A and B are shown apart, each in its own frame.
Chain A
């Protein structure tokens, strides 16, 4: 049913699975896996906001990242900041002033590319919650190994031999960079190349989002033919 052509080298994203609406209490939720990295995300909102976080002209977006074991540490807080900034840009926050939108990400399995997986899962949960967004976001991670090869969407085994790892987040309309997080050393040329490759990869993720929405809507149309005029 789907034609896949894997032409050139091994540049490929890991297989993606997702299930929406896995949690009954939250407004939107998604369980998303990329290869062996799995993440479950829940979105609550627009909901009542605490007085210290209230913003009079827009919704207050809050992101929470919980690791599987132990208490949240510094790099978890960094992930929270990135997710929060990305999502507050993508959401139409001025539509819901004086409310709060919370995005909670729970790590389930970490096999590399966790930040990218978390951002993608957050976007899926936001789609499921129905909060209005300006555009969708997709994150792609890549790494540069010691032979200066650029590998897209590496798993934890491949990441062990990396000298730099980069994660880019793109928006769905103009494919601009919304966020970028890197570790390690790399040249400008390597950065540009990784950026182009990751941008190419983000197209796949956007079409994945479209597919799941299309699937749901097709079923809705099929089940309620009276809606169709």
Chain B
């Protein structure tokens, strides 16, 4: 009954930014501050605003803008627990009484809803508040100077206590109670009870919702357990905060890139990716291209504009234009695709590289060979050919691209079957051993 999912806390590079994941439930919190005039009823205190956003990313039935019942409930619970319990020392946020105070704003975004949002959100909000640093302010007579964090160290907030929310789901009229319900458990439960407890076993918020009749000792029992759980959560939070502080003091890199677990299957990271560029040649090329562009704009008899040098690749590529005739009244210009000499980040096993020479359909020569394609190559009587067609390229793919809306012919770049097919179709010109085999060849 007391089992809760694992809670993990990650911090971002900004102060006051943290992400809490409770099992699969993920919540992101960010604290920001602003100087404003205080309330007239409380001229010596700063203000704290909590905003909970149920992002559509969290669940398919979350919508933008529409404040659903769940959103309102969550917001209200957190406000009760964090604002009304006065856990943040608001008086320390005062700069000039009755004139300027710090207004804190905590934005909580739900990234993934897999149950027990209130616990994750409260933990995220409290951790973010503890992590946040307010810029240092000096008041000299009439002037107030807000110092940049690079000039003067920012000041952390003062939190008296940490009221964490712990929730339980009740089934069968109180017979079964489970802690930290998942999304499915929440939906089939009869009632939910949420306790806002801090580490000193003080109750800061209580919410009982649903349609279940329970006895009072059940609630008391739950409250006891909640107090224990709250102490655990506060421990986890403090530990995470300490680790982050140590990492920052040691100058180690912090931020969400650290929370991507590289050992996992679906994760990948790549460090410095240098681009091999010869800048002087690059400048020369660009100059040439710009001049060319402004001079040579050719038109043929049907008014189809044929630009030369328009499709430029890298500096290593010759930009000889070549016209492909597709249909009556339409033509497409493709440059000769030479082997692009960029640096190869090639692992030594399979031939994974920059994509290699396109091996799909090798067409040598001129217009006659274009009959092989799926497109209808009607006689080019209406489009004047300026340059002879001779290109090697991904012709199959190109022709599909240009045919407008015939997207039924999918161009799936990552497809093993296509690699197989292209191997058979390829005009053997001595390069067939360079098969792009970054997939193991599979027969389906």
Contact = CB atoms under 8 A, between A and B. Distances in A.
B278 A8 contact: yes
Contacts of A217: 439-440
A208 B270 contact: yes
B414 interface: yes
Contact of A7 (B53, B114, B276, B411): B276
Given A69-B32, A94-B407, A18 B269 contact: yes
B57 interface: yes
A interface, over-half SS: mixed
A25 interface: yes
A64 B58 CA distance: 13
A229 B443 contact: yes
Contacts of A152: 275
Interface string B250-290: 00000111001110111111111111111100110111011
A163 interface: no
Nearest to A27: B60
B257 A36 contact: yes
A192 to B, nearest CB: 4
Nearest to B23: A24
Interface stretch (B215-223, B228-236, B310-318): B310-318
Interface residues of A, number: 90
B105 A12 contact: no
Interface residues of B, number: 89
Contacts of B57: 23, 26, 29, 40-42, 66, 104, 106
A17 B269 contact: yes
Most buried by A among B256, B347, B398: B256
B343 A5 contact: yes
B290 A192 contact: yes
A190 to B, nearest CB: 9
B58 A228 contact: no
B3 interface: no
Interface in A63-90: 64, 66, 68-70
Given A108-B12, A219-B265, A31 B286 contact: no
Contacts of B276: 5-8
Given A66-B55, A203-B354, A213-B414, A196 B314 contact: yes
B353 interface: yes
Nearest to A35: B257
Interface in B363-412: 394, 397-398, 401, 405, 407-408, 410-412
Interface of A: 1-9, 11-13, 15-26, 29, 31, 33, 35-36, 38, 40-42, 44, 47, 64, 66, 68-70, 92-95, 102, 104, 106, 108-109, 111, 128, 132-136, 152, 172-176, 188-189, 192-193, 196-197, 199-201, 203-204, 206-208, 210-219, 221, 227-229
20 contacts: A1-B347, A4-B271, A5-B274, A5-B343, A11-B274, A17-B270, A24-B24, A25-B58, A31-B256, A38-B256, A108-B12, A172-B413, A173-B397, A173-B411, A175-B313, A193-B282, A206-B354, A207-B353, A213-B414, A217-B440
Given A8-B275, A108-B256, 6 more contacts: A4-B343, A11-B277, A16-B273, A70-B32, A189-B290, A208-B273
